[in-house]
């Protein structure tokens, strides 16, 4: 398992950005133990606000994992009170800001050190995100959110939990520029392809035939795909259906990631019918299986610290340069962007026609 240092990405182990931490449907008043960025967290939904709350997992009193207990009476009697949560061991209670707000056996002033870190959380389109920043700064871009979620013509996704992948996220990021895997892996016959980098966004526009995601009448699959930051990818898909694909990955350890997938589908009706929902689920499954073709390679390949790149490969080196910005202090990120921002085409492959820019959300 290769690390961030092995790839030479920058001084921080984990990238700055918004990252998914849970399918929102799994976040309830029963706390969940989750682990990302080499850190253990307690994740729960406040009963008063209904908001997802993410705290560091270990209690400052004696180090108990707040979200890993099923037998303490402090848990069995209802661990979440309002938006606060009790530690299983001695029932100290912590607010959503992470500060201890009640100790059942002590009337004195609560020490300042009696607090856990509370993380900035956002919830949108059925997903819960955390802002992770090694410098501790405020978010410098917004979590992407799209109007299709609230459009009744569109069928919402049911998130596919793809589990932990024991590969460094760099291997996944490479995919955004990987023109030449599209034929062998996905059965695509690519007719145009280009990349664009723009600040925290990395864009891929491509179109061509596809074995499973278009009809047999020779129509093309067009995808307009973009990363917003280092971990959230959307793709506007035009093929059998108009669809919005979602792939997201969050570092777990230095060299592994957790991955989710979803697909929203535009139906032919003003309000999607039960049959539209069934068809959308089938299309999401076809999309998941297409992604699984990449996943199989990533789960067993050796780390690629340096691409043996051909002129007719996609611009891997540009995507790798783009990805570095998130592992550097912000003061250096702007300079890195300046070096990589722009549109890139590949030798012998037409650039995207204007009509291919269907996403336009970036
Ligand atoms: S260890 Fe958490 S209250 Fe004592
Ligand atoms: Fe792929």
pLDDT, tens digit, 9 for 90 and up, residues 219-252: 778 899 999 999 999 999 988 789 999 999 999 9
Q: Of all helices (H) and strands (E), which one includes residue 244?
A: strand 242-251
Q: Supply the pLDDT for residue 218.
A: 62
The CATH 3.90.380.10 domain(s) of the chain lie at 147-356
Ligand 2 centroid to Cα of residue 175, in Å, is 6
Fold designation for 6-132: Rieske Iron-sulfur Protein (2.102.10)
Residue of the CA atom closest to atom 4 of ligand 1: 90
Fold designation for 147-356: Naphthalene 1,2-dioxygenase Alpha Subunit; Chain A, domain 1 (3.90.380)
Ligand 1 centroid to Cα of residue 89, in Å, is 5
Residue of the CA atom closest to atom 3 of ligand 1: 90
User: Given a cut of 90, is residue 216 above it in pLDDT?
Assistant: no
Q: Supply the pLDDT for residue 359.
A: 62
Does any ligand 1 atom lie closer than 6 A to the CB of residue 62?
yes
Phi and psi torsions of 67, nearest 5°: -105, 15
Atom of ligand 1 nearest to the CA of 87: 2
| pTM for the full predicted model | 0.96
Per-residue pLDDT band at 217 (split at 50, 70, 90):
low
Phi and psi torsions of 134, nearest 5°: -60, -25
For ligand 2, an ion, list residues with CB under 5 A.
Answer: 294
Q: Contacts from 210-216 at CB under 8 Å and sequence distance 24+? A: 210/186, 210/239, 211/186, 211/187, 212/187, 212/286, 212/289, 212/290, 213/237, 213/239, 213/240, 213/286, 213/287, 213/290, 214/239, 214/240, 215/239, 215/240
Q: Supply the pLDDT for residue 357.
A: 76
Atom of ligand 1 nearest to the CA of 86: 3
The span from the CA of 270 to the CA of 162, in Å, is 32
pLDDT digits (tens, 9 = 90+) for 11-44: 999 999 999 999 999 999 999 999 999 999 999 9
Does any ligand 1 atom lie closer than 6 A to the CB of residue 90?
yes
Atom of ligand 1 nearest to the CA of 64: 1
The span from the CA of 353 to the CA of 193, in Å, is 9
The CATH 2.102.10.10 domain(s) of the chain lie at 6-132
Percent of the chain with pLDDT over 90: 91
Residue of the CA atom closest to atom 1 of ligand 1: 62
């Amino acid at each position: 398992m290769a690390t961030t240092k092995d790839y030479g990405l920058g001084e921080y182990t984990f990238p700055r950005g918004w990252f998914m931490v849970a399918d929102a449907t799994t976040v309830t008043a029963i706390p969940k133990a989750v682990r990302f960025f080499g850190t253990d967290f307690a994740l729960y939904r406040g009963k008063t606000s209904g908001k997802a709350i993410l705290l560091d997992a270990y209690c400052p009193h004696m180090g108990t994992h707040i979200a890993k207990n099923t037998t303490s009476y402090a848990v069995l009697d209802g661990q979440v009170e309002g938006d606060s949560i009790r530690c299983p061991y001695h029932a100290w209670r912590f607010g959503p800001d992470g500060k201890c707000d009640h100790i059942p056996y002590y009337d004195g002033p609560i020490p300042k050190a009696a607090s856990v870190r509370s993380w900035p959380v956002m919830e949108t389109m059925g997903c819960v995100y955390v802002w992770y920043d090694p410098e501790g700064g405020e978010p410098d871009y917004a979590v992407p959110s799209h109007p299709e979620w609230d459009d009744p013509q569109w069928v919402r996704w049911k998130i596919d939990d793809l589990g932990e992948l024991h590969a460094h996220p760099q291997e996944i990021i490479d995919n955004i520029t990987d023109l030449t895997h599209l034929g062998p892996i996905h059965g695509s016959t690519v007719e145009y392809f280009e990349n664009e980098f723009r600040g925290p966004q990395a864009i891929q526009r491509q179109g061509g035939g596809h074995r499973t995601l278009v009809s047999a009448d020779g129509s093309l699959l067009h995808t307009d795909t973009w990363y917003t930051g280092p971990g959230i990818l959307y793709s506007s898909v035009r093929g059998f259906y108009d669809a919005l694909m979602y792939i997201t990955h969050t570092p777990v350890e230095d060299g592994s990631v957790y991955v989710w997938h979803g697909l929203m589908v535009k139906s032919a009706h003003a309000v999607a019918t039960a049959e539209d929902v069934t068809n959308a689920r089938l299309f999401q499954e076809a999309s998941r299986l297409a992604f699984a073709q990449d996943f199989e390679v990533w789960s067993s390949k050796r780390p690629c610290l340096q691409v043996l790149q051909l002129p007719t490969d996609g611009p891997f080196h540009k995507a790798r340069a783009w990805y570095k910005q998130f592992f550097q202090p912000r003061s250096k990120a702007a300079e890195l962007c300046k070096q990589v921002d722009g549109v890139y085409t590949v030798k012998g492959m037409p650039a995207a026609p204007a009509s291919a820019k269907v996403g336009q959300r970036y």
